[in-house]
A and B are shown apart, each in its own frame.
Chain A
Amino acid sequence: MKPITALPVLTLALAMALPVAAAGPRDDQLAAYAAAARAANPAFAGFSAARGKTLHTQNFAGGKPESPACTSCHGNDPRGAGRTPAGKVVEAMALSTSPARYTDPAKVEKWFKRNCNEVLGRECTPLEKGDWLSFMLGQ
């Protein structure tokens, strides 16, 4: 008796939960970056994890001399922990190693703002943010 009466309730709960799970905060944030990237350049054709990887590993001259690249603090392996200049361990950026990451859009934006300024000497563009996030979500 019980399983039969519980079935419709379960189905309903599942049906309600599924769309939410499909478009979580990560997808929402990527979609927002995509919209902004398209607004800046109508030829925008989607984010590239490969470009994100380049962004993460390349050296920039515009930021602080002690942090020319993202990897200066985050380390060369996205799945490994990094370290701040003051010695604090930074949890790995790769989603596969740090599955709790990138669920708070305000936190993601906060760190993009700070770290892009430190490394590139300017804020990152929506295209750069989307590329970088795509790279880390796939790692």
Chain B
Amino acid sequence: MSPKPLNTDRPLPLRPLVLGAVALAFSAIVLGRAQAGGSHWFPPVADPLVKEECGSCHLAFAPSMLPAASWQRMMSNLKNHFGDDASLDPAVTAKISEYLVANAGDRGGQRYGDKLLRGVTGTTSLASAPLRITELPKWVREHRKVPNWEWKHQEVRTRANCTACHADAARGYYDD
């Protein structure tokens, strides 16, 4: 490498400094967003089996979005999964159930699901635990301004289609 004549009279390497500052500012923004959106970040499913089996037809919803009792109720009746037969073999069902329950919004995922699960009732028994994330009081409140025509838009069609509006939902972000 030949020495650059421009740098000979400049002891401070300005360019790396500026680049460093830009990188720092960028990570500050990203970090700030992650912290500000603390109530809007739900760690995505990390288990490959759960991702595959729960994420073929719809987004593999974050376990922290529902309480443990809800996941238990849902996993005990996959034969009728919101009108679809989503049954799996018993061993796979048990493994998925274990993961969802362990990371549920009132268990391991409490830090993230806490606000979303506020005001949720019926979690004391399997029969009454809520099944739809989209019927949780906090969810309904957060989406009250979304007009009907938007739900019916052909790119949306169902309230379960989070990624239609939340571009980063698969990575756990629901800020936008």
- Min distance, Cβ B82 to any Cβ of chain A, angstroms: 9
Q: Could you say which residues of chain A place their CB within 8 Å of the CB of B160?
A: 86-87
Q: Is the CB of B85 within 8 A of A86?
A: no
A86 near B59 with CB under 8 A, answer: yes
Q: Which residue in chain B gives the minimum CB-CB distance to A64?
A: B83
Shortest CB–CB separation between residue B87 and chain A, in angstroms? 8
Closest to A114 in B: B85
Interface string of A102-118 (1 = CB under 8 A from B): 00000000100010011
Q: Tell me if A88 is interfacial: C-beta within 8 Å of chain B.
A: yes
State whether the Cβ of B164 lies closer than 8 Å to any Cβ in chain A.
yes
Q: Is B39 an interface residue (CB 8 A)?
A: no
Residues in B with CB closer than 8 Å to A54 are none
With both beta carbons as reference points, the residue of chain A lying nearest to B163 in the complex is identified as A87
Measured between beta carbons, the chain A residues less than 8 angstroms from B85 are 114, 117-118
- Check B158 for interface membership: any CB of A closer than 8 A: yes
Closest residue on chain A to residue B164 by CB atoms: A87
Bound CA span A110–B58, Å? 17
Bitwise interface map of A from 78 to 108 toward B, beta carbon under 8 Å scored 1, else 0? 0000001111100000000000000000000
Is B59 a contact partner of A88 (Cβ separation < 8 A)? yes
Question: Taking the complex as formed, is B57 at the interface, i.e. its CB lies under 8 A from any CB of chain A?
Answer: yes
CB distance from B64 to the nearest CB of A (A): 20
Interface string of B157-176 (1 = CB under 8 A from A): 11011011000000000000
Bound-state CA distance A117–B81 (Å) is: 14
Determine the chain B residues whose CB is within 8 A of the CB of A117 once the complex forms. Answer: 85
Q: Which residue on B lies nearest to A110, using beta carbons?
A: B88
Q: Are A85 and B157 neighbours in the complex by a CB distance under 8 Å?
A: yes
Contacts of A85 in B (CB 8 A): 57, 157-158
Over the window 83-104 of chain B, the binary record of Cβ atoms lying under 8 Å from chain A Cβ atoms (1 yes, 0 no) is 1111010000000000000000
**Other-chain contact of B57, A64, A88, A110 (Cβ < 8 Å):** A88
In the complex, what's the smallest C-beta–C-beta distance from B165 to chain A, in angstroms? 10
Q: How far is the CB of B164 from chain A (nearest CB, A)?
A: 6
B161 touches A87 (CB 8 A): yes
Check B156 for interface membership: any CB of A closer than 8 A: yes
A84–B57 CA distance with the chains assembled, in angstroms: 6
Task: List B residues 126-163 near A (Cβ within 8 Å).
Answer: 155-158, 160-161, 163
How far is A88 from B169 in the complex, measured between Cα atoms in Å? 12
Q: Tell me the complex Cα distance, A110–B164, Å.
A: 27
Query: Which listed residue, A64, A86, A114, touches B158 by the CB 8 Å rule?
Result: A86
Compute how far the CA of A117 lies from the CA of B58 in the bound complex, rounded to whole angstroms.
19
Which residue from chain B places its CB closest to the CB of A87 in the assembled complex? Answer: B161
Docked Cα-Cα span, A87 to B161, in Å, equals: 6
A25-B125 Cα distance, complex, nearest whole Å = 45
Taking CB atoms, residues of chain A closer than 8 Å to B88 are: 110
- Taking the complex as formed, is B56 at the interface, i.e. its CB lies under 8 A from any CB of chain A? yes
Could you list 12 examples of A-B contacts with CB < 8 Å? Answer: A85-B157, A86-B57, A86-B59, A86-B161, A87-B156, A87-B163, A88-B55, A88-B57, A88-B58, A114-B85, A117-B85, A118-B84
